[in-house]
Amino acid sequence: MFGTTLVLAIREIRRHLLRSFLTILGIVIGVAAVVTMVTLGNGATKAVSEQISSLGSNILSIRPGQGFGRGGGGPRPPDFKPEDVEAIRDQVAGVAAAAAQAQTSATAIHNAANWSTTINGTTNDYLVAQQWRLQMGRSFTPAEEQAGKAVCILGSTVRANLFRGENPIGERFRIGDVSCDVIGVLTTRGQAGFGQDQDDMVIMPLKTVQRRFTGNRDIRSIMVSVDPRYDTATVQSGIEDLLRERRGITGGKQDDFNVFDTKQISDTLQGTTRILTTVMGAVAAVSLLVGGIGIMNIMLVSVTERTREIGIRLAIGAVAREVLLQFLVEAVVLACLGGIIGLLLALAASMIGAPLIQVPFIFDPKINIVAFAFSALIGIVFGYFPARRAASLNPIDALRHE
């Protein structure tokens, strides 16, 4: 019986192809929107995770101030000193590497090419903490770090714009007012978690940048790599206690520095992305309800148009259950067709949209199955009332219908 009912439903849909398509349009748009939003949202979440991970694993970033900026309207908190970095490295258990950083910006010039970039004054511990390998060349020698030699390691973006495919090792170029010898080139990292190009950077010895560029011994940030055998929260607490002591912060006074755990930042950003994805998916799901209302409306019209046909079926022996099943199956078939078309559109939109917004395409079978099942449920829920109305018709009244 079900097979015959399914054939009748498909035949009725084929008789009114345009009307059937317009009926399922809401379902198509709803399913496509929900699946596309969730797929791209999952891709964005993964992209955020990968970009934060590119900063390094088990990394603590220490900055002066009560947040990413200065915070509040008071005086600027004091920067760190080289002695602070040494104390963290020597006195806090679980610190694998501690790299001081002094940053500035300058224009690099080589032959006819010039490029504005960031200068990162630091030590070899920076490469250890970041787990950043060299593509070619070498890192700083202890003598170069101690004497503040004008040597540098290039990020791949700087290399591409200054040397344009040439081997830069041993070459000299000018950055700001300083002539610098290239001793190494970093492997490519790409964008970081906040959109900046990690490869657009020139690394120089910390003392070189302090003497030749900033003119002081101040350190704006410290990057600490935590030994995987130690708990990151414990190491973070030890660093905070040490810095409070060294900076004379006692009692209930608020810290004038902040220690950021990159894993916490990653978890926060991923959580925010998931919430936004859920909200966008929920908004898109509203069109599914609109599609369900459209199916119910058209099915009610269909019952009115086919009242005489229903009367004939009931008069020759069909029971009310069979009539109800016929119209219910027709509504479910319409909804399922809309779901299939919507999934195909979502697949195409996601594959095209992911590269455009620079996130990975992640096919999630679960959301596709849920969206299709929900579209079928929409057909059952919104198709039941018209089907029930058709099944409850009086055969004599139906036969008299003009």
Task: Delimit the domains of the chain by residue range.
Answer: 2-51+267-400, 78-255
Kindly state the DSSP code that residue 229 receives in the 8-state scheme. T
Which pLDDT belongs to residue 402? 53
Secondary element (H or E) of residue 116: strand 113-122
Of 101, 74, 64, the residue nearest 85 (C-alpha): 101
Percent pLDDT > 70 in the chain is: 85
How high is the pLDDT of residue 54?
59
**What is the model's pTM?**
0.61
Residue 79 has pLDDT above 80, yes or no: yes
Dihedral angle at the C-alpha atoms of 55, 59, 60, 64, nearest 10 degrees?
Answer: -30
Cα distance between residue 323 and residue 8, in whole Å: 11
38 falls in which pLDDT band (50, 70, 90)? confident
Tokens of 89: 């490295």
Q: In which band, very low, low, confident or very high, does the pLDDT at 70 lie, cut at 50, 70 and 90?
A: very low
Q: Which residues pair with 108 in a beta bridge?
A: 115, 175
As given in the structure block, the two tokens for residue 312 are 């004939």
Residues whose CB falls within 8 Å of the CB of residue 398, separated by 6 or more in sequence, listed in order? 307, 308, 310, 311, 312, 314
Confidence of residue 183 (pLDDT cuts 50, 70, 90): very high
pLDDT at 336: 87
Q: What is the pLDDT of residues 250-309, one digit of tens each?
A: 877 888 888 888 776 667 766 777 787 777 777 767 777 777 777 787 777 777 766 777
Q: Cα–Cα–Cα angle for 69, 103, 270, nearest 5°?
A: 50
Whole-number pLDDT of residue 170 = 92
Q: Stretch 234-258: mean pLDDT, rounded? A: 87
pLDDT (0 to 100) of residue 57: 60
**pLDDT, the chain, mean:** 82
